[in-house]
Amino acid sequence: SNMTAFPTIKLQNGVEMPVIGLGTWQSTDDDVRKAVEVAVAEAKYPLIDTAEIYQNEEVIGNILHKMISEGKIKRDDVFLTTKLWTNNLNPARSLAAARECLKRLQVEKVDLLLCHMPAAFAENGVDQEKEVSVEEVWKGMEAIYDAGLARAIGVSNWSVEQVERVIKSAKVPIHNVQNELYLYWPQHELAEVCKKHGISVTSYGSLGSPGRVNFTLPTGQKLDWAAAPNALDDAKVKELAEKYNKSPAQVLLRYVIERGIAVIPKSVTPARIHENLKVFDFKLTEEEVKALDSATHRQRLFLQPFMEGHPEDPFKSERV
């Protein structure tokens, strides 16, 4: 089975989450259908990461269903993660929204359900619901867990402060935090806090998200992306890639995995889909991880400007 071929991280409730999976942001229809087929049936990826907002849950559900009915894979070969968008974070709507995710994905339950952001918005996705706190959002997630719709629940793009605030009142622990984490934004404080509380961490943008600049929100809004150096071109990364006869992408992924953090590199290119999974036949030394840890450039890529002005904007203090 795909699930046993790769290392896993044990969540607080005993569920095993693979340390590697396929990211699917900005991969629509034909691309994602092909990518998931290559990833799951050929390369044997044990995890697929999607979200309501990626608008590809239905395509992913269809191709997985097809592969399962053809006997190519079993449902439990693939750990499925999805995320509720901002307009479904209000606990008045989150349970129903989770049921819609399951319908689109054609599964009885997902393995991990995350709230995509901490800031709740009205149904139209535009107006901020400023009165909905992260504590309220989490109550909705707990109801989803209690209803058996997800084997584990977690958060994404929450600040350390928000994570710490919610675990104080949580009845179900936060099983996973999925945040931007890569060479130039290593998130040492977040990793430390999560470790202390037994929360698993997943890195998004592990490769520096080179495709991010093409993104448009469903509202038509284009996001402003500050210029950033390409982590794949980093001199230290290239040096290690040569040393181990690996690609810069593989070094960037291994750097995160060495820290006990899961990765979900996105690609719709078959050769890269295969390449990104081949990161378990080499190791970086402690010194090499430290050297990467101390890269001099620091930059958060994902500032999620649409949350500005919301009391639960996680990046308040970073906006100038």
What residue ranges bind ligand NAP (CB under 6 A)?
A: 23-25, 49, 116, 156-157, 178, 204-212, 232, 247, 249, 264-269, 272, 275-276, 302
Is 175 annotated in a binding site? The answer is: no
- Closest CB to ligand NAP among 81 and 90? 81
Minimum Å gap between C-beta 269 and ligand NAP is: 4
Q: Which of 54, 182, 184, 204 is catalytic?
A: 54
Strands 8-10 and 16-18 turn out to be: antiparallel
| H-helix segments, the chain | 29-37, 57-69, 91-105, 134-146, 160-169, 188-196, 235-244, 248-258, 270-277, 286-293
Whose CB is nearest to ligand NAP? 23
- Closest CB to ligand NAP among 146 and 222? 222
Minimum Å gap between C-beta 94 and ligand NAP is: 16
Q: Which two tokens stand for residue 193?
A: 């806090």
Minimum Å gap between C-beta 316 and ligand NAP is: 17
- Closest CB to ligand NAP among 70 and 224? 224
Phi and psi of 308, rounded to 5°?
-55, 135
Exposure string over 6-26, b if 16+ CB within 10 A, otherwise e: bebbebeeebbbbbbbbbbbb
Minimum Å gap between C-beta 39 and ligand NAP is: 11
Rounded CA separation 65/13 (Å): 27
Alpha-carbon dihedral sign for residues 89, 93, 99, 101: negative
- Closest CB to ligand NAP among 102 and 231? 231
Catalytic residue flag (residue 54): yes
Number of H helices, E strands in the chain: 10, 10
Which residues are annotated as part of the binding site? 116
Q: Which residues carry out catalysis?
A: 54
